[in-house]
Amino acid sequence: MNKADVFKLLEENQNPRGIQNWQEMEAKSTYKSLGIGLTVLRKLAKQVGKNHDLAMELWDSDYYDMKVLAVLIDDPKLITRAQMEAQVEDIDFGMLVHVFSACGAPVAKTTIIDQVADDWVKSPDPVRRRCAYGFVYELSKSTKKSAPGNDYFLNYIHHIDQTFASEDKSVHLAMAGALMGIGKRNLTLNQAALKIAEKIGPVPVESGKTQCDPMDVTKHLTSDYLKKKFAK
């Protein structure tokens, strides 16, 4: 498939209600949208298939849906630091941050993702900081032998504790997500993360017109499932 084929596929799957919702919150983004939800975009990405060169072409688009597909079909083995630095400059909307940095995104599967997270979490750019915490969340789910150890994650727990109150509110949800992911790894990290989760409390969730409950990290980290898991 080429870029024209992909756009035709997107047009065939456009969602009028999604388009209306996007237009009602268009002030938050400079991009247009065909209103396609992430679940459908994931299915379309599988249909298109992994293709790094095509992903680079799709990213060069003023359609949000096309950029999401670009993220989803990319090959982590071919993604470079330069590419990541260039693409993050184009991200201007919360959900695109989430898709780019978390959700099992290929970018988060690169071998340098821990280095990028460590750099971006100190960036003056709030979008980079949000992505950094998304990367940490993805790292927290890793079961690879090469995954960071407890000290790496404890440093992030400490950093969240020290910076949450002064951090831009747009970054808070990503911080909460990282804290939750870290706290699910093992008992030591759970206990450390729980102390901070109780301190910061539930974090508001903004999702367009939809009213969402705040993200309660404490509730997640004290679930019956985790209690059983860590009791073993």
Domain limits, the chain: 109-232
d(CA 92, CA 97): 8
Q: What is the pLDDT along the chain (232 residues), one digit of tens a residue?
A: 999 999 999 999 999 999 988 887 755 678 899 999 999 999 999 999 999 999 999 999 999 999 999 999 999 999 999 999 999 999 977 788 989 998 888 999 999 999 999 999 999 999 999 999 999 999 999 998 889 999 999 999 999 999 999 999 999 999 999 999 999 999 999 999 999 999 999 999 876 556 688 999 999 999 999 999 998 7
The answer, as to whether pTM is greater than 0.85, is yes
Backbone angles phi, psi at 210, to 5 degrees: -70, 130
Strand locations in the chain (E): 206-207, 210-211
Task: Say what the pLDDT of residue 208 is.
Answer: 58
For the chain, first and last CA: distance in Å? 49
